[in-house]
Amino acid sequence: MTFRVTVLGAGSIGVFVGGKLAAAGAEVSFVGRPRVLDEIGAHGVRLTDLDGGDERIAASGFRTETEPGSAATADLVLVTVKSAQTAAAAAQLSDRVRPDTVVISLQNGIGNDAVIRAALPATVSAGMVMFNVVHRGDGHFHRGTDGGLAVADDPALARFAPLFGRAGLPLDRHPDLRPVQWAKLLLNLNNPINALSGRPLREELATRDYRRCLASAQAEALAVMRRAGIRPARLTAVPPRVMVHLLPVPDAVFGRVAGRVLAVDPMARSSMADDLAAGRTTEIDWLCGEITALGRAVGVPTPVNDRLTELIRAAENGAERRWQAPELLARLRGASSPGPVRATGH
Ligand SMILES: NC(=O)c1ccc[n+]([C@@H]2O[C@H](COP(=O)([O-])OP(=O)(O)OC[C@H]3O[C@@H](n4cnc5c(N)ncnc54)[C@H](OP(=O)(O)O)[C@@H]3O)[C@@H](O)[C@H]2O)c1
């Protein structure tokens, strides 16, 4: 059977995952903005990865549209827009999807699946993409880190499992995805730090003071989660509570003990860095903002995550600076000095 798949949000994740499904035999429609659709229409899609994989899908191997008309006949809809666009995307789907359509939110953050579920009659499952994708232009999308797809298990997903398996993206099904979502959020607290650093992920994570920034944000988030009774899943070789002690060790030691953390494509950046570079609103409210809101609810202060939000907000509003590691660390720890300003190209 050929599955019809609509990918709502043809960007880094949407084109990578949808492209893999098309290569595995699905009939894929990408819903996106003309700039991306024109690009993949002209060049087709090329999908590479850090393990040497290199796959091409000719433009005749998928469809493109700017409105999700294909959702009316889709077996599966993947929502791959940024969190700020989830409500609008769900509204577009609401009068199109059928009750027997399965929708998977493949987005970072905690509440996107609930926003979609509230708007649709369909089965909606939460999902998480555990790898990073870099959009390199001319239809080329590159998976820059390890990782797969995690989803909240639902019997309706079972029939799609072979398709994802053939696509090389097996579904890692969890009875409850919340612990995975919270654990991924802890990792994604690096997104604002990476964006503020103006550096590729590998270079940023190889720098002790940036890792100290991340450790501070994660330690604070863990304190909030503990108070709220949330136990994040273990997604990395070391559990989250150990990670906050591992991150601040000297660079040479970190390089030896955390090899896979630094096994990142040398050019990969966080998607928040891409958003700032493109002048788009970021997902900061769905990352640090989620910690701030939970902290407020359970009575735990969250100054580090609050300051990260402030700095990203300033960057969204055009503040052009590339934060050196020691000055960012000082700022997150409460120092008020603005430090030297440098152009970033954001
Ligand atoms: N990129 C990564 O490496 C990565 C890794 C793991 C998880 N994630 C998560 O995956 C999700 C998607 O991220 P991404 O980086 O793939 O985002 P992205 O590259 O910005 O792709 C989303 C695309 O969808 C478009 N779009 C938004 N609303 C639309 C609508 N209603 N109709 C048609 N097109 C629409 C956006 O256009 P506009 O820009 O004009 O809005 C954008 O081109 C996010 O939650 C992100 O945190 C990303």
Q: List, for residues 44-58, the tens digit of each pLDDT value.
A: 999 999 889 999 999
| Pocket flag, ligand 1, residue 341 (CB < 6 Å) | no
* Residue 340 clears pLDDT 80, i.e. is over it: no
- What's the Rg (C-alpha) of the chain? 20
* CATH at 37: 3.40.50.720
Domain holding 38, by residue range, is 4-176
Among 142-151, 319-328, 337-346, which stretch is predicted with the lowest mean pLDDT? 337-346
CB 29 within 8 A of CB 70: yes
Q: What is the pLDDT of residues 255-280, one digit of tens each?
A: 888 876 777 778 888 989 999 999 99
The counts of H helices and E strands in the chain are 15, 12
* Residue 343 clears pLDDT 50, i.e. is over it: no
What does the chain come to in residues?
A: 346
d(CA 116, CA 105): 8
State how far the alpha carbon of 269 is from the alpha carbons of 97, 181, 201, 281, in Å: 34, 20, 5, 17
Q: What angle do CA 309, 144, 134 make, to 5 degrees?
A: 65
Q: What is the pLDDT of residues 65-110, one digit of tens each?
A: 999 999 999 999 999 999 999 999 999 999 999 999 999 999 999 9
Q: Helix, strand, coil: what percent of the chain each, to 5?
A: 50, 15, 35
| Pocket flag, ligand 1, residue 33 (CB < 6 Å) | yes
Instruction: State the pLDDT at residue 336.
Output: 63
Same structural domain, 83 and 201: no
| Pocket flag, ligand 1, residue 18 (CB < 6 Å) | no
Same structural domain, 327 and 186: yes
With left for phi above 0 and alpha for psi between -120 and 50, is residue 271 left, alpha or beta? alpha
Q: Which of 80, 93, 107, 275 to mutate to test the pocket of ligand 1 (most atoms within 8 A of CB)?
A: 80
Q: Which of 81, 131, 312 to mutate to test the pocket of ligand 1 (most atoms within 8 A of CB)?
A: 81
Same structural domain, 99 and 227: no
Does some domain include residue 35?
yes
Same structural domain, 198 and 237: yes
Q: What is the pLDDT of residues 135-145, one digit of tens each?
A: 999 999 999 88
Does some domain include residue 338?
no
Same structural domain, 217 and 157: no
* Residue 344 clears pLDDT 90, i.e. is over it: no
Instruction: State the pLDDT at residue 84.
Output: 94
Same structural domain, 155 and 192: no
Same structural domain, 140 and 194: no
* CATH at 275: 1.10.1040.10
